[in-house]
Structure 1
Amino acid sequence: MTGLGDNNDKDLYWGPGCRKMLEGFPEEVQDIILQAFFFAQKGSKHPDAKPLKGFHGASVLEVVVPFDTNAYRAVYTTRFTGAIYVLHIFQKKSKSGIATPKKEIDLIKQRLKQIEAQK
């Protein structure tokens, strides 16, 4: 994961492929997601950031941005002191339900465990 930040902010670390995935999203979606990361770096929570179900507590957050007929999602954690980790960024195309698909949850859990193992 690569970092970005200054001395007053929490560092922002991007999970594998997350930055590239975000760059492929519509500009309006990118703006909202990047704004959510900025809020987190400053120690605040963006109005569109909600705790991701199944992760017990509010340290794993999801930003869902509906755009056109799709939903764009970014998942990050504030669990670790002085750092924000972008765990996963993806586009959900499913027409049924709003739940995060199991394969996406599994990847998020895997990346979170990898970070915990490094701490």
Structure 2
Amino acid sequence: MVKPLKSLEFRSSALGDLRAFPGAARREAGFQLDRLQRGLEPGDWKPMATIGQGVREIRIRDEDGAFRIIYVAKFTEAVFVLHCFQKKSQRTAREDIALATQRYKELVRELKS
């Protein structure tokens, strides 16, 4: 039986940030997000427990650099995309972690109310 597609919900500026990715990275991001909507694992991901329980990061690499999509898919309502950005160094910038953490906390508050 085919599972219904889970909806995607972009938090704050995440959709605009994703649209700013170069073409190849944007296409790969769309493919990976489609996999999430179908209940599948993305090709390259890692847990981001420092941000929140169930938060993960999709890792995309191409000739234009390294790109990241931080999301949470554990809720029944939707796959929530918290933050999309280009990675500039080996470690994820503190600002990116803080922004995703803030958006995760806001999301959890909204879902509880």
TM-score band, normalised by shorter chain: 0.7 to 0.9
What CA deviation, in whole Å up to 9, does each residue of 1:46-100 have, x standing for no partner? 111222252466x211112222352111111012113100000011223xxx221
Aligned twin of 1:70 = 65
Residue in 1 that maps onto 2:74:
79
- Residue aligned with 1:31, SS: helix
Tell me the equivalent position of 2:56.
61
Alpha carbons of 1:16 and 1:103: their partners in 2 closer, same or farther (altered >3 Å)? Answer: same
Two-structure CA RMSD over aligned residues (Å): 1.9
In the other structure, the counterpart of 2:83 is: 88
Question: Which of 16, 23, 33 pairs up with 1:20?
Answer: 16
The aligned residue for residue 51 of structure 1 is 47
Report the Cα offset of residue 19 of structure 1.
1.3
Q: TM-score, normalised by structure 1?
A: 0.81
Runs of 4+ in 1 over 3 A off after TM superposition: none
| Percent of aligned positions that are identical | 29
Gap regions ≥5 residues in structure 1: 1-6
Map 1:94-105; keep pairs closer than 5 Å.
94=89, 98-105=90-97
Paired residues, number: 109
2:11 partner amino acid: G
TM-score (norm 2): 0.85
> What 5-or-longer segments of structure 2 have no aligned partner?
none
Q: Partners of 1:67 and 1:77 in 2: how far apart?
A: 23
In structure 2, C-alpha distance between the alignment counterparts of 1:51 and 1:70, rounded to whole Å: 21
